[in-house]
């Protein structure tokens, strides 16, 4: 049952990963804690090596449809690599229970922002012209629809660095930082946000994986079982998103994160009190 459950967790989390560009760790970590009763350290570290092939499978599926911004991805990767290594090292001195609570809080925040955007219908993020490269203005609102070309690189670097720190520190892929950064700062189309996020996650998950492995936070047999279900799940999830409308994606993503965020926080509080 342990093996079967691990494979199912990997599949389910990677379907959602492929759909929403979050790498899967934000869902795999609480699932490992809740369903497999893993320690906080194992729950934080083990999903990272699974994230690499999972995110790669999803990113390739998006890239084939032209839904990966390579320039943004490359600059984000460059800043995310050192950030991830630093974040992973910091776990040696920080309380892991509080890190788990922080993960739940971030998930809830992202759920709120995503739901609000879905209810509003969101700004016009589906332009046929790539808004990041064009830097055009929204005629209806009179505000920039995307940052100017000179701002794309620094915003990409800042987003990648923050995502790397978050990835190494909390044992997640970094998508919870990349997605709002790409969406709200770079004003990218939603589906391209998901695809580009997965491409960046492939790279920034590597240093975190190495450091957590050296700290003995990775249970490799569990990682193997998770990966068996993860790769086909990521491909399926990406294909579902490509065929789904944006408003539905916003609301689905928000609902999913809200459920996991609440369960995550409640479980960790019970664990700390007990």
Higher-confidence residue of 174 and 142: namely: 174
Confidence (pLDDT) at 266:
82
Q: Where are the domains of the chain?
A: 2-273
- Do the beta carbons of residue 39 and residue 262 sit within 8 Å? no
Torsion of the alpha carbons at 58, 105, 93 and 166, rounded to the nearest 10: 30
Higher-confidence residue of 98 and 52: namely: 52
Across the range 100-113, mean pLDDT stands at 80
Higher-confidence residue of 9 and 118: namely: 9
Task: Tell me how far apart the alpha carbons of residues 147 and 133 are, in angstroms, rounded to a whole number.
Answer: 9
- Alpha helices by DSSP H, 215-245: 220-242
Task: Tell me how far apart the alpha carbons of residues 115 and 40 are, in angstroms, rounded to a whole number.
Answer: 29
Least confident among 116-125, 170-179, 197-206, 262-271: 116-125
- Alpha helices by DSSP H, 95-219: 96-120, 131-134, 149-170, 175-180, 190-214
- Do the beta carbons of residue 47 and residue 17 sit within 8 Å? no
- For residue 264, pLDDT beyond 80: no
- Predicted confidence (pLDDT) per residue in 154-196, tens digit: 999 999 999 888 877 766 668 878 988 898 899 898 889 999 9
- For residue 37, pLDDT beyond 80: yes
Confidence (pLDDT) at 148:
63
């Amino acid at each position: 049952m342990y093996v079967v459950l691990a494979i199912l967790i990997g599949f389910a989390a990677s379907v959602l990963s492929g759909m929403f560009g979050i790498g899967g760790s934000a869902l795999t970590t609480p699932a490992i804690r809740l369903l497999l009763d893993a320690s906080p350290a194992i729950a934080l570290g083990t999903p990272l090596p699974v994230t690499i092939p999972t995110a790669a499978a999803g990113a390739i599926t998006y890239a084939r449809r032209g839904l990966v911004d390579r320039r943004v991805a490359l600059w984000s990767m460059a800043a995310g690599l050192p950030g991830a290594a630093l974040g992973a090292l910091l776990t040696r001195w920080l309380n892991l229970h509080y890190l788990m609570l922080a993960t739940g809080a971030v998930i809830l925040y992202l759920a709120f922002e995503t739901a609000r955007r879905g209810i509003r219908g969101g700004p016009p993020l589906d332009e046929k012209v790539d808004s990041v490269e064009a830097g055009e203005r929204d005629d209806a609102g009179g505000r920039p629809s995307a940052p100017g070309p000179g701002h794309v690189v620094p915003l990409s670097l800042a987003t990648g660095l923050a995502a790397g720190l978050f990835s190494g520190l909390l044992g997640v892929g970094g998508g919870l930082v990349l997605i709002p950064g790409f969406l709200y700062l770079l004003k990218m189309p939603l589906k391209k946000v998901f695809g580009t996020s997965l491409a960046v996650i492939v790279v920034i998950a590597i240093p975190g994986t190495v450091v957590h492995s050296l700290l003995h936070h990775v249970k490799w047999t569990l990682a193997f079982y998770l990966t068996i279900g993860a790769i086909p799940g990521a491909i399926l999830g990406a294909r579902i998103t490509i065929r789904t409308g944006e408003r539905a994606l916003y609301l689905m993503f928000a609902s999913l994160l809200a459920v996991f965020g609440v369960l995550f926080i409640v479980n960790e509080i019970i664990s700390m009190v007990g």
